[in-house]
DNA sequence: GACATTAGTGTTTCATAGACACTATATTAG
DNA sequence: CTAATATAGTGTCTATGAAACACTAATGTC
């Protein structure tokens, strides 16, 4: 990076884009925003925006996240940086993509900050996206699936207290395949990261024990390598 | 990404930085450049430079790589994007870091393009680095180690023909621990991606069979998910 | 021809992953 | 209050992969 001599420099604008996931109704969902201006007017897009002076990339991502959803303290991870020359018709825009996980109980029902429409879409049937956001979303889903298998990111999608069945549903929604209840619970027990808490929950049938994730605070840190092999 | 209304935009310069690895003398080594200008004059740094107009990020990385080493067709993977406001004293510079793997027989002995000094350093005892390059290098090493365990990137560090012992040495150099010869070879055989080729090699002792990697061309693609579990 | 040096080769043991079905506890309806 | 319904909770066996471990084979050198 050291600009040593005379090298051609390009005027670039840098944005952050956010793939904000939640799981509701047993579906992996993503927050999208309907564009009110060209280009891609009327098209849905990932939330995002320009970085500001004196602001780190991660800070910009957290700020955009808070602006769109009002939430803070969520799992956030840098995904990839997209900078192909043609990706934005208005000029050279390099975007640093992040993905975030929001617990279902903290995901606002309709996340609208201003006049723009904003809503959750099931990833499986989202509308066509603006720019190269289709590719960003696909990559985010792939990364989330992978990460789910060897970390504990999945816990970020649940409220503080949850039942084991709820946890399993989240995993099944993201991975897109059913998991065996006994194997799932055995591995959880082996990890030893769940604490039962006082209380049970029943909607129908036998009430279920509530649990909390004992490493909750710690695992908010990026790239924690706790193994979670499904 | 979509600049919708009136948002503060920051003038940003975008660079790519390269962590170029090779393995020589049974050591993981990295290509560094001695800075001839302030800031950090006289300090060693990762090679890199500004992106050009109409040039993709990956293209910029490949171009810088070719400029420094003269090689093309190497394994290259985007690592992370660093954009903290204070990382470059000259202004706001966001850098997209890549790492590359160069086969030992293609790694130039002294990689100097112009007046700047450039040389390979063993990662284990490299000099202090300029900017935030220390962190970039550390992260690259970590990523390479991880990737080594579930992909075949390691093959990119060897000449077209190599012995199994040479391959094992490369893995040991990167992972920093000895591997069991028989287990190593058994897993290789199971993968079925090595073809013996005519010829043997001996420096001392019994000559060893030469092999080539049958998926060589294919695995140059990024993020090939061939499993290679050590 | 003895010695030094590196190549090459199998088996056993242990841990982890996956398949698989029944009992327990609560609510609701008759 | 009894039966039906609905969900929670639990253990075993089998197969596969990972790790530990030691000797024989082929070549060059003294």
The secondary structure element, H or E, covering residue A194 is strand A194-201
pLDDT of residue A217: 45
What is the mean pLDDT of the segment spanning B159-174? 97
Q: What is the mean pLDDT of residues B185-194?
A: 94
Instruction: Return the sign of the alpha-carbon dihedral for residues B119, B123, B126, B130.
Output: positive
Alpha-carbon distances of A164 from A167, A172, A181, A219, B17, rounded to whole Å:
5, 12, 9, 19, 45
Q: How many angstroms separate the CA atoms of A199 and A192, rounded?
A: 19
Q: What is the helix (H) or strand (E) element at residue A26, kind and residue range?
A: none
Question: pLDDT for B31-45, tens place per residue?
Answer: 999 999 999 999 999
Q: Residue A114's pLDDT is what? A: 60
- In three-state secondary structure terms, B154 is helix
Q: From the list A56, A88, A131, which residue is nearest B84 (CB)? A: A56
The yes-or-no verdict on residue B226 having pLDDT over 60 is no
**Nearby residues of B25 by Cβ (< 8 Å), 6 or more positions away:** none
CB atoms within 10 A of CB B167: 20
Confidence (pLDDT) at A226: 31
Residues composing chain B: 230
- Strand D contact at CB of residue A208, distance < 7 A: yes
CA distance B171 to B47: 25
Which pLDDT band holds residue B14 (cuts at 50, 70, 90)? very high
Residue B141 CA to residue B138 CA, distance in Å, equals 5
Chain A: nearest CA to B119, how far in angstroms?
A: 16
What lies within 8 Å, CB to CB, of B198 at 6+ separation is: B210
Q: What pLDDT shows up at residue B89?
A: 96
pLDDT at B28 over 90: yes
Set of chain B residues whose Cβ sits within 8 Å of the Cβ of A116: 4
- Could B8 and A57 be called an inter-chain contact, meaning their C-beta atoms sit closer than 8 Å? no
**pTM of the entire structure?**
0.91
Q: Strand D: which bases are under 7 Å from protein Cβ? A: 5-12, 17-22, 25-29
Q: Judge if the beta carbon of B204 is closer than 7 A to nucleic acid strand D.
A: yes
User: Phi and psi of B150, rounded to 5°?
Assistant: -130, 10
Name the residue closest to the C1' of D12 by its CA: A182
| Tokens found for residue A224 | 């924690």
B159 interfaces chain A, CB cutoff of 8 Å: no
Q: Could you tell me the pLDDT band of residue B2, with boundaries at 50, 70 and 90? A: very low
Which residues in chain A (169-198) have CB-CB distances under 8 A to chain B? none
- Which pLDDT score, from 0 to 100, does residue B221 have? 36
A113 vs B199, more confident: B199
Residue of B57, B12, B8, B87 whose CA lies nearest to A50: B8
First-last CA distance in chain A: 41
Tell me how far apart the alpha carbons of residues A80 and A62 are, in angstroms, rounded to a whole number. Answer: 16
Residue of B nearest to A78 (CA): B80
Encode pLDDT of B98-115 as tens digits.
Answer: 999 999 899 887 655 566
Asked if A168 and A181 count as a contact pair (C-beta separation under 8 A), the reply is yes
Tokens, residue A41: 């007017």
- B218 pLDDT band, cuts 50/70/90, is very low
CA of residue B145 to C1' of nucleotide C12, angstroms:
30
B150 touches strand D (CB under 7 A): no
* Residue of chain A whose Cα is closest to the Cα of B33: A2
Neighbours of B172 (CB within 10 A): 17
Find the distance separating the first CA and the last CA of chain B, reported in whole Å.
Answer: 40
Residues A116, B7: C-beta atoms closer than 8 Å: no
The whole-number Å distance from B204's CA to D30's C1' is: 14
β-bridge mates for residue A122, sequence order:
A29
User: Residue B54 above 80 pLDDT?
Assistant: yes
Residues A178-211 have pLDDT tens digits of 999 999 999 999 999 999 999 888 788 999 999 9
Report which DSSP code applies to A126: P
State which residue of chain A sits closest to B14, comparing Cα positions. Answer: A12
Residue B177 beta carbon within 7 A of nucleic strand D = no
Number of H helices, E strands in chain A: 4, 9
What whole-number distance in Å separates Cα of residue B156 and Cα of residue B144? 12
Is A49 at the interface with chain B, CB within 8 A? yes
**Mean pLDDT, chain A, integer:** 88
* Chain A hits for B116, Cβ within 8 Å: 4
Helical (H) or strand (E) element with B106: none
- 3-state SS, residue A50: strand
Those residues of chain A that have pLDDT short of 70 are 1-8, 110-115, 215-230
Instruction: Give the separation between CA A124 and CA A138, rounded to whole angstroms.
Output: 10
Which helix (H) or strand (E) segment is A196 a member of? strand A194-201
Closest residue in B to A86 (Cα) is B54
Whole-number Cα distances in Å, A82 to A89, A95, A96, B46: 14, 5, 6, 22
Q: Give chain A positions within 8 Å (CB) of B84.
A: 56-57
Best of A2, A12, A42 to substitute, by most chain B Cβ atoms within 10 angstroms, is: A2
pLDDT at B223 over 50: no
The rounded mean pLDDT for chain B is 88
Q: Residue B103 in contact with residue B158, Cβ under 8 Å?
A: yes
């Amino acid at each position: 990076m050291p600009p040593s001599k005379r090298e051609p420099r390009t005027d670039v604008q840098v944005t952050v884009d956010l793939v904000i996931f939640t799981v509701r109704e047993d579906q992996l969902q993503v927050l999208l925003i309907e564009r009110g201006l060209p280009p891609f007017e009327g098209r849905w897009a990932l939330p995002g925006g320009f970085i500001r002076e004196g602001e780190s990339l991660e800070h910009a991502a957290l700020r955009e996240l808070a602006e769109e959803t009002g939430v803070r303290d969520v799992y956030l991870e840098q995904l990839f940086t997209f900078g192909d020359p043609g990706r934005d018709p208005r000029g050279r825009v390099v975007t640093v993509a992040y993905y975030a996980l929001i617990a279902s109980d903290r995901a606002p029902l309709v996340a609208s900050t201003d006049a723009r429409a904003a809503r959750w879409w099931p990833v499986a049937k989202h509308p066509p996206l603006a720019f190269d956001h289709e590719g960003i979303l696909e990559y985010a889903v792939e990364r989330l699936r992978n990460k789910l298998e060897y970390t504990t990111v999945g816990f970020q999608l649940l409220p503080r207290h949850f039942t084991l069945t709820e946890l399993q549903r989240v995993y099944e929604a993201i991975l897109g395949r059913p998991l065996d209840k006994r194997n799932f619970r055995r591995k959880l027990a082996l990890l030893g990261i769940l604490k039962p808490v006082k209380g049970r929950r029943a909607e129908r049938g036998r009430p279920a024990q509530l649990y909390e994730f004992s490493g909750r605070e710690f695992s908010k840190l990026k790239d924690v390598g706790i193994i979670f092999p499904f």
